Amino acid sequence: MKIKFFLLPYIKPTDSNFQHQEICLAEGFKTKNISFCGNINYWFDNTTKTYLIQKEEGTFQPTVCIYSSLYFHKYYDQFKLANGCINILIDNEDGYNTACDKPRAKEFTLILRTHFTLHHKYNVNVVPWAFGLSNRIIQELKLSYNLPIKNRCLSNFRVSYNLRELAINRINPIISKRFEIIQKLTEGLDLVERENLSEFDYWNQTGRRHNTEYYKLLNSSLLTHTFGGVLEYKSSLHRIKEWAEKRIKFRLSNNFNLYQYDSWRLWEVFASNSCPLNIDFSDWNILLPEMPVNGIHFWGVKGINFEKSAKDLMHLKREEIMKISQAGKNWSLKNYSPVATANRFIKHIESL
């Protein structure tokens, strides 16, 4: 197998064209000694001091081509899929109707879709994917694994989604009676070295996402909010149904669909010492390539029963919460490390 990536270049921190899933795959391919190149040089590895994905030279003949959705959109009207190759699109876009729903998306052999939900009707060439873990995340977290874990819940969101607001507003007032609530934005953390950052510093390349102090906060917090996504009414009939439920003070079922739920933060917390707080993925008809188990690998809210979930969490012993954190860490490293991601990709290719 020989693989070629089609990517957009890094420009600046506020226009980084950060293509995380492609990095994860390339790191896995490299470990497995699978040949790959790119249409450009992409992702300068600060450990090896070389580009992870290097521009094609000579007569490299790929058998598999991987296109980022950023590249797909930029060259939508003029690009041609490689002849005689298995052509893969990685669609990690926010929103409901994304790259995988475009007319030309049907031309791809396979589409790897993050934010995959059973509420959406996909084309037959679309399969579930996930943000997952890169070596950068794993290595940075390891540097602070030994920090004391404080009895606190961390909230660190740059972008506000209605699910995040709903979860925090309903959960924090209850758990604050036991856990200290820490709300800090990445941009507000102390980064003394920022003035001297090189173009290739991870803070730049990741579009201002990589922050050493943030990873320390994760590893030293017992709990962390990882909610992400947008709640949307299933239909107008559910508005009437919700009104009726309020009148009888009993919720019959979940009135919402959820999309745009995956994030770097979710996987960063999974691989840290902290216990992720999120929705129950199975309960919300969300599909990941490998599913975590609520109460075993993370703490998940069923439906929108945030208050009940928070009260149940209050009854857990510290040791029980830490057990969930450790199990979640082991699970994520086993199933979503670069090598695990590459192995999953290869299985998809072999099944075509």
Please determine, for residue 10, whether its predicted confidence score (pLDDT) is greater than 70: yes
Please determine, for residue 55, whether its predicted confidence score (pLDDT) is greater than 60: yes
Grade residue 97 by pLDDT with cuts at 50, 70 and 90.
confident
Contacts of 276 (CB under 8 A, 6+ apart): 224, 226, 266, 269, 270, 298, 299, 328
Predicted confidence at residue 258, as pLDDT, reads 83
Rounded to whole angstroms, how far apart are CA atoms 291 and 281? 8
What domains appear along the chain, each with residue ranges and CATH number? 2-133+337-350 (3.40.50), 135-335 (3.40.50.2000)
Average pLDDT over residues 240-265: 67
Rounded to whole angstroms, how far apart are CA atoms 20 and 69? 11
Please determine, for residue 242, whether its predicted confidence score (pLDDT) is greater than 80: no
Mean pLDDT of the chain: 90
Rounded to whole angstroms, how far apart are CA atoms 131 and 22? 10
Please determine, for residue 327, whether its predicted confidence score (pLDDT) is greater than 80: yes
Average pLDDT over residues 74-99: 92
**Which residue has 């902290």 as its token pair?**
274
Rounded to whole angstroms, how far apart are CA atoms 214 and 236? 41
Rounded to whole angstroms, how far apart are CA atoms 242 and 29? 49
Cα end-to-end span (Å), the chain? 14
- The half-sphere exposure of 305 on its side-chain side, counting CA atoms within 13 A, is 18
Predicted confidence at residue 238, as pLDDT, reads 47
Strand order in the sheet with 299-301: 180-183, 150-155, 221-225, 275-279, 299-301
Please determine, for residue 251, whether its predicted confidence score (pLDDT) is greater than 80: no
Please determine, for residue 279, whether its predicted confidence score (pLDDT) is greater than 50: yes
Residue 15 backbone dihedrals phi, psi, to 5 degrees? -150, 65
The residue ranges of DSSP E strands in the chain, in sequence order, are: 2-6, 35-38, 42-45, 50-53, 64-68, 86-91, 110-113, 126-128, 150-155, 180-183, 221-225, 230-233, 256-259, 275-279, 299-301
Q: What is the pLDDT of residues 216-229, one digit of tens each?
A: 999 999 999 999 88
Rounded to whole angstroms, how far apart are CA atoms 55 and 7? 10
The residue ranges of DSSP E strands in 160-296, in sequence order, are: 180-183, 221-225, 230-233, 256-259, 275-279
Q: Could you tell me if 276 and 299 are in contact, meaning their C-beta atoms sit under 8 angstroms apart? A: yes
Rounded to whole angstroms, how far apart are CA atoms 83 and 345? 20
Predicted confidence at residue 90, as pLDDT, reads 98
Rounded to whole angstroms, how far apart are CA atoms 343 and 334? 11
Radius of gyration of the chain (CA): 21
Please determine, for residue 290, whether its predicted confidence score (pLDDT) is greater than 60: yes
Q: Within 10 Å of residue 158's Cβ, how many Cβ atoms? A: 10
Q: What is the pLDDT of residues 132-177, one digit of tens each?
A: 999 999 999 999 999 999 999 999 877 778 888 889 999 999 999 9
Rounded to whole angstroms, how far apart are CA atoms 60 and 85? 13
Q: Within 10 Å of residue 67's Cβ, how many Cβ atoms? A: 25
